[in-house]
């Protein structure tokens, strides 16, 4: 009988993934399987609990395959992925501040808002891409513990891979931006309660254990409001600056002021205000409808003595771009919204030179 993919998978049927009751096949660990005559080439990516899991698994797989009469040769590649929580500690002494852990990152720029749903994640994703298009090396950290969305918005599919020293590699999105997200750590359908120390640890790992490499910018998409994540970040990471996103209504503007006051108290530099969803240009007749009022962002920026970094119109292409994982800056660079994002990126780059 000749060797087939099916017969190889059946031979592996009994072998479970480390720390799991699922078989290797059920756990989705098999990345590649090639058969050439009587040779089997198999590549796996497995979550490992401890480094010795890899060798144990290798022995079990090789034994199972070599027991097949049709198999003469087995070539096995196992890529270990470390779950973040159980990543082994660094062998070298821990640096004292987070800043020491990120020597390769030149600037960290965070995107905040007083209110939810005003477009922080959209601004972060497009800002990251616009900076990358301008030739910068860019990373994007989705630090929204309540509703991480950057995997979807950036089209960053796949899981981050780990190495045996406890390092984690961010996922590279189309366009070259490196993405890391709370969304990679948690099941999207399960509510997660992050308590203070756990949250602090997870955030610290994003700086200490994620192998960002050399970056000109790390953009951090914050959860809405003035909660723990923003506070922890400002206290531990030297930020090049923060952008505050708002929509033009008065209620959003009140919250934007609150958030500005928090950052000022923390002595974090606020680069300026981004007014999002500022008006809808009818594609048929060109009439601009100011759905959420007009001039609010400019007025608030003036009152708070901050620059208005840009006004992004309401644009259905922004929504579809985000939903398809290709932000509008990449998908429709000539559209008014993409041009607004690019202008914001230029101003951010100039202000943080
Ligand atoms: N300029 C725009 N035009 C049209 N739709 C937009 C615009 N900006 C954002 N949106 C849409 O509004 C919704 C909310 O945006 P987004 O998720 O970026 O907000 P957020 O501030 O990050 O929200 P949250 O506080 O929940 O994290 C998304 O569906 C997004 O596509
Ligand atoms: Mg968001």
H helical segments located in the chain: 5-11, 52-66, 98-101, 120-133, 150-154, 196-208, 228-236, 250-265, 296-303, 316-324, 328-331, 336-351
Segment 124-137 mean pLDDT: 97
pLDDT at 86: 47
- d(CA 281, ligand 2 centre) in Å: 24
Split at pLDDT 50, 70, 90, the class of 311 is: very high
For the segment 33-62, what is each residue's pLDDT rounded down to a tens digit? 899 999 999 988 888 777 788 888 999 999
- pLDDT of 79 strictly over 90: no
Segment 121-140 mean pLDDT: 97
pLDDT at 148: 87
pLDDT, mean over the chain: 86
Supply the pTM of this predicted model. 0.74
Segment 306-319 mean pLDDT: 93
- pLDDT of 82 strictly over 70: no
Q: Cα(45)–Cα(33) distance, rounded to whole angstroms?
A: 12
C-alpha distances (whole Å) from 67 to each of 34, 59, 74, 223, 230 are 18, 12, 11, 53, 56
Determine whether the shortest distance from the Cβ of 119 to ligand 1 is under 6 A: yes
**What's the 3-state SS for 201-215?**
HHHHHHHHCECCCCE
| Sheet containing 30-36: order of strands | 30-36, 39-47, 73-81
pLDDT at 342: 98
Q: Cα(315)–Cα(277) distance, rounded to whole angstroms?
A: 8
Domain spans of the chain, in order of start? 5-81, 98-351
Q: Which ligand is nearest to the CA of 116?
A: 1
Q: Place domain 5-81 in its CATH homologous superfamily.
A: Cation efflux protein, cytoplasmic domain (3.30.70.1350)
- d(CA 334, ligand 1 centre) in Å: 20
Split at pLDDT 50, 70, 90, the class of 293 is: low
Question: Helix, strand or coil for residue 158?
Answer: coil
Q: Cα(237)–Cα(210) distance, rounded to whole angstroms?
A: 15
Better pLDDT: 257 or 28: 257
Residue 306 has a CB neighbour count (10 Å cut-off) of 16
Better pLDDT: 84 or 131: 131
Domains 5-81 and 98-351 share a fold: no
Q: Cα(301)–Cα(307) distance, rounded to whole angstroms?
A: 6
Q: Cα(194)–Cα(273) distance, rounded to whole angstroms?
A: 29
Better pLDDT: 70 or 165: 70
Closest residue by CA, ligand 1 atom 12: 119
Closest residue by CA, ligand 1 atom 30: 319
Segment 316-333 mean pLDDT: 93
Split at pLDDT 50, 70, 90, the class of 275 is: very high
Q: Which of 178-182, 295-299, 301-305, 327-331 has the lowest mean pLDDT?
A: 295-299
- d(CA 73, ligand 1 centre) in Å: 53
Better pLDDT: 159 or 310: 310
Determine whether the shortest distance from the Cβ of 342 to ligand 1 is under 6 A: no
Determine whether the shortest distance from the Cβ of 311 to ligand 1 is under 6 A: no
Segment 309-327 mean pLDDT: 93
pLDDT at 72: 94
Closest residue by CA, ligand 1 atom 29: 319
Most confident of 71-85, 159-173, 183-197: 159-173
Segment 252-280 mean pLDDT: 88
Determine whether the shortest distance from the Cβ of 312 to ligand 1 is under 6 A: yes
Segment 326-333 mean pLDDT: 95
Please choose from 118, 119, 273 the residue to mutate so as to test ligand 1's pocket, defined by most ligand atoms within 8 A of CB: 119
State the fold for domain 98-351.
Rossmann fold (3.40.50)
Q: Which ligand is nearest to the CA of 245?
A: 1
pLDDT at 26: 80
- pLDDT of 96 strictly over 60: no
Share of the chain above pLDDT 90, in %: 49
pLDDT at 239: 94
Determine whether the shortest distance from the Cβ of 111 to ligand 1 is under 6 A: no
Segment 288-315 mean pLDDT: 84
- d(CA 121, ligand 2 centre) in Å: 4
- pLDDT of 89 strictly over 70: no
């Amino acid at each position: 009988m000749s060797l087939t993919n099916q017969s190889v998978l059946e031979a592996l049927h009994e072998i479970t993934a480390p720390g799991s009751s699922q078989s290797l096949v059920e756990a989705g660990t098999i990345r590649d399987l090639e058969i050439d005559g009587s040779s089997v080439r198999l590549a796996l990516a497995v979550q490992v609990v401890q480094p010795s899991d890899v060798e144990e698994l290798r022995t079990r797989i090789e034994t199972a395959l070599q027991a097949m009469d049709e198999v003469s040769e087995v070539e096995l590649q196992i890529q270990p992925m470390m779950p973040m929580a159980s990543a082994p500690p660094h062998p070298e002494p821990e640096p004292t501040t987070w800043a020491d852990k990120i020597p390769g990152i030149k600037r960290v720029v965070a995107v905040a808002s007083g209110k939810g749903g005003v477009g922080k994640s959209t601004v972060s994703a497009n800002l990251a891409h616009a900076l990358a298009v301008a030739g910068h090396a860019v990373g994007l950290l989705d630090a929204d513990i309540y509703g991480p969305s950057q995997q979807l918005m950036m089209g960053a599919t796949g899981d981050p891979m780990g190495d045996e020293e406890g390092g984690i590699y961010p996922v590279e999105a189309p366009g070259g931006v490196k993405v890391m997200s709370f969304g990679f750590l948690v099941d999207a359908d399960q509510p997660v309660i992050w308590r203070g120390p756990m949250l602090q640890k997870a955030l610290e790992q994003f700086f200490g254990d994620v192998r960002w490499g050399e970056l000109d910018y790390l953009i951090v998409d914050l959860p809405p409001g003035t909660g723990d994540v923003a506070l922890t970040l400002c206290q531990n990471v030297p930020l090049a600056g923060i952008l505050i996103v708002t929509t033009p209504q008065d209620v959003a503007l009140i919250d934007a002021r609150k958030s500005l006051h928090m950052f000022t108290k923390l002595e974090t530099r606020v680069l300026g205000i981004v007014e999002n969803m500022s008006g809808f240009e009818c594609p048929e007749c060109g009439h601009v409808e100011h759905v959420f009022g007009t001039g609010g962002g400019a007025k608030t920026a003036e009152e708070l003595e901050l620059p208005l970094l840009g006004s992004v119109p309401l644009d259905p292409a922004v929504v579809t771009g985000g939903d398809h994982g290709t932000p509008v800056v990449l998908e429709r660079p000539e559209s008014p919204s993409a041009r607004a994002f690019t202008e914001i990126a230029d101003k951010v780059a100039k202000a943080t030179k």
